[in-house]
């Protein structure tokens, strides 16, 4: 029976695979069982953030020395740039082993690499449909039959560059947007709507090219999408619970209605055995394996009726402000800075809010 194991490893930089190497050498991680690695890297999280590709290259080369380049390429590397505030750069390694652990339902993991996405499909229905099918395939791989048992879907999606736009136009097709920075939001949004369609949160008939990146009344409570220049396809990781898996690790999720709405996250922690009126105590923190969250600046320029300036700053992207702000709010709740907060939550939770997953050792 499959057992999911999750490891949190500190990183001194985007090229630091030493923690992964040490864990493999110590026998704490079987490199052949690694399904995915999520990373927080200290870049700017924008189009030109090469820390994501640097980290992917460093981790994949480290794994290739143990399992060969072909198997290392099968791992999903989801690198999220930006560790603003006190968020600590780190890797979260998801591993599958076989055995007889504590009876489930337990954390179940499925992962899929899609084909390359044509530039003209980015931010349009073609991307929605490709992601939806990938989510369904990852659910089957994870032995998750009921969409309600899916608690988080992490996607790494592509963006448009000037070169990709030029190649598309040379083929006689148009792209959804020529602004490369805006293409990140469209890609995240279309990917997230793909999750919503696959999980039955939004009917496919309600989605069109027109609503992507515009109608934010359509959203997923369990999608997390991060765009990057380092890939042209999607890497889709489904995290949920399944009775076909055993082990100590479980997962739940919550939706923040805005950037300081921590009470739903507190409730999710209580559901998985970590109730606390205030900040988690040291014993409880030792059982918190990972916290994954989305963050964005409220698009109406207000937070609970009070003005914020995140969208007016010409020097710093609003996604960077939001990551730091939400990471501070969630860090204060769980008493930890090594958490995964990704910026840009288009169609991921309600406007200004975002989904959160808590992964806990039972």
Is residue 345 annotated as involved in ligand binding? yes
The pTM of this model reads: 0.96
Report cis status (omega within 30 of 0) of the bond before 105: yes
Token pair for 37: 């690695």
Architecture per CATH, domain 2-98, reads as 2-Layer Sandwich (3.30)
CATH of domain 254-361: 3.30.1330.160
- Residue-wise pLDDT tens digits, 343-354: 999 999 999 999
| Mean pLDDT, range 82-107, rounded to an integer | 95
The percent of residues above 70 in pLDDT, for the chain, comes to 100
Domains 106-239 and 254-361 share a fold: yes
| Mean pLDDT, range 221-238, rounded to an integer | 95
Cα distances (angstroms) measured from residue 259 to each of 202, 265, 303: 23, 12, 8
Q: Rounded to whole angstroms, how far apart are CA atoms 64 and 71?
A: 7
Is the torsion defined by CA of 101, 143, 79, 32 positive or negative? positive
| Mean pLDDT, range 275-280, rounded to an integer | 96
Active site residues: 156, 226
296 neighbors 344 (Cβ within 8 angstroms): yes
Confidence of residue 46 (pLDDT cuts 50, 70, 90): confident
DSSP string, 149-187: GEEEEEEEEE---HHHHHHHHHTT---S-S-HHHHHHHH
Is residue 348 annotated as involved in ligand binding? yes
The per-residue pLDDT for 68 is 98
Domain 106-239 CATH assignment equals 1.10.10.10 = no
Is residue 208 annotated as involved in ligand binding? no
Is residue 361 annotated as involved in ligand binding? no
Asked if the model's pLDDT at residue 47 lies above 90, the reply is no
Q: What residue spans define the domains of the chain?
A: 2-98, 106-239, 254-361
The per-residue pLDDT for 241 is 98
Q: Where are the alpha helices (DSSP H) in 241-281?
A: 263-271
Q: Treating both helix axes as pointing N-terminal to C-terminal, what angle do 180-198 and 125-141 enclose, rounded to 10 degrees? A: 50
């Amino acid at each position: 029976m499959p057992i999911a194991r999750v490891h949190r490893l500190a990183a001194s930089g985007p090229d630091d695979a030493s923690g992964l190497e040490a864990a493999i050498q110590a026998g704490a991680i079987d490199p052949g069982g690694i399904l995915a690695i999520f990373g927080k890297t200290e870049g700017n999280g924008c189009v030109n953030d090469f820390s994501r590709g640097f980290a992917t290259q460093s981790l994949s080369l480290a794994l290739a020395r143990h399992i060969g380049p072909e198997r290392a390429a099968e791992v999903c590397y989801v690198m999220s740039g930006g560790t603003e505030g006190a968020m600590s750069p780190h890797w979260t390694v998801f591993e599958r082993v076989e055995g007889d652990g504590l009876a489930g339902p337990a954390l179940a993991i499925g992962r899929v690499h899609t084909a390359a996405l044509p530039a003209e499909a980015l931010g349009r229905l073609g991307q929605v449909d490709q992601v939806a099918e990938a989510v369904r395939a990852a659910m089957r791989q994870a032995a998750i039959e009921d969409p309600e048992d899916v608690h988080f879907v992490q996607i790494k999606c592509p963006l448009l560059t000037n070169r990709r736009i030029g190649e598309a136009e040379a083929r006689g097709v148009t792209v959804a947007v020529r602004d490369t920075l805006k293409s990140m939001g469209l890609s995240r949004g279309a990917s997230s709507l793909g999750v919503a369609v696959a999980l039955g949160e939004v009917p496919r008939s309600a989605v069109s090219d027109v609503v992507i990146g515009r109608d934010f009344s359509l959203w997923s409570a369990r999608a997390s999408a991060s765009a990057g220049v380092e890939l042209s396809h999607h890497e889709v990781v489904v995290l949920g619970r399944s009775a076909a898996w055993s082990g100590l690790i479980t997962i739940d999720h919550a939706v923040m209605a805005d950037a300081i709405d921590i009470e739903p996250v507190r409730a999710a922690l209580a559901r998985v055995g970590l109730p606390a009126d205030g900040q988690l105590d040291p014993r409880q923190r030792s059982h918190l394996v990972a916290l994954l969250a989305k963050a964005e600046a409220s698009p109406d320029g207000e937070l609970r009726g009070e003005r914020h300036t995140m969208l007016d700053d010409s020097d710093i992207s609003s996604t960077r402000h939001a990551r730091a702000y939400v990471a501070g709010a969630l860090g204060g709740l769980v008493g930890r800075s090594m958490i995964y907060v990704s910026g840009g939550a288009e169609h991921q939770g309600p406007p200004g809010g975002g989904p959160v997953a808590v992964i806990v050792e039972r």
